[in-house]
Amino acid sequence: MPRSTPDLRLDGYEAVNERVDEQFWQHIASEHDMLTVLAEHHTSDDKHSFYVLHNGAVTWGIPGEPQIVALHLKRDTAARTFRFARAELPLPAMAQSWLIARGCPEEKILLPQGMGTTPADDATRALEERLRRDGDHFALLTSYTNDSEPIQTTVLLRALDERAPVPFRVLLEEADTDTFTHTLREGGFATSEAATTWWEAHWSGEDIPLPAPAPPTHRTTLPSSPARPTPPRSPRR
């Protein structure tokens, strides 16, 4: 992956308070040299910057943790202070959705050609587009990223609409290092137990197809801190 550390455009700015300063150091500044820009957008008035980042430091940490960071910087250009919000997410399309929900135009935060692997087929492109636009239909429960062969990411989601007949979704992204492409598929499950059973079987090496998902019934708002039930056991590396 190309190295391009983010220009955060904070020269002459200070965090709005000590708490923000400490959190910014902990979550962003301390790992700045390990962050790679996948996509970025800055508003013309310089008050907002949006980034999709890959955090290389995660590859040295707990196996399976999300490696994508969505970062929204908010600057007070008169007071020369800043605030920020960030989320750690398993897939670029989910990071884009998070930023779009915070005011970033979708077309401004797409990954440029040649940045990372490219979608292998129309099904992948369509699902990523839907994730960007309708990501707030679901809460993220857990994910697992395996960055050695086979390079895969699994994501477990829960529908926020209580009327959804198939409330649990699993996303499976698989990367092909020979063609430098990836596929993304989703499956629907009626219960968390069924989703967990598929998840653990998949990471145990069983080749079980994902069941077809049902479409979401209507749009809801993603909570800032979704509830997380007991996740599937992480695979052993």
The pLDDT of residue 228: 40
pLDDT tens digits, one per residue of 127-137: 999 999 987 78
Q: What is d(CA 127, CA 65) in angstroms, rounded to the nearest whole number?
A: 22
Question: Residue 220: pLDDT above 70?
Answer: no
Question: Residue 230: pLDDT above 60?
Answer: no
Only one residue has tokens 């092909």, namely 176
* Contact call for residues 52 and 111 (beta carbons, < 8 A): yes
Q: How far is CA 170 from CA 17, 68, 166, in A?
A: 39, 18, 11
What does the DSSP 8-state code read for residue 64?
Answer: B
Find the mean pLDDT for residues 219-225. Answer: 37
Question: Residue 229: pLDDT above 80?
Answer: no
The total of other beta-carbon atoms located within 10 Å of residue 52's CB is 28
The pLDDT of residue 164: 87
**Average model confidence (pLDDT) for the chain?**
89
* Contact call for residues 149 and 177 (beta carbons, < 8 A): yes
Find the mean pLDDT for residues 201-223. Answer: 70
pLDDT tens digits, one per residue of 71-127: 999 999 999 999 999 999 999 999 999 999 999 999 999 999 888 899 999 999 999
Q: What is d(CA 95, CA 70) in angstroms, rounded to the nearest whole number?
A: 5
Question: Residue 198: pLDDT above 90?
Answer: yes
Find the mean pLDDT for residues 32-57. Answer: 97
Question: Residue 2: pLDDT above 90?
Answer: no
Percent of the chain with pLDDT over 70: 89
Q: How confident is the model at residue 69 (pLDDT cuts 50, 70, 90)?
A: very high
* Contact call for residues 159 and 167 (beta carbons, < 8 A): yes
Q: Strand 152-159 to strand 118-119: parallel, antiparallel, or no bridges (unpaired)?
A: unpaired
Question: Residue 205: pLDDT above 60?
Answer: yes
Amino acid at residue number 131: L
Which of these ranges, 131-140, 174-183, 192-201, has the smallest mean pLDDT?
Answer: 131-140
Domain boundaries defined on the chain: 1-116, 117-237
* Contact call for residues 39 and 110 (beta carbons, < 8 A): yes
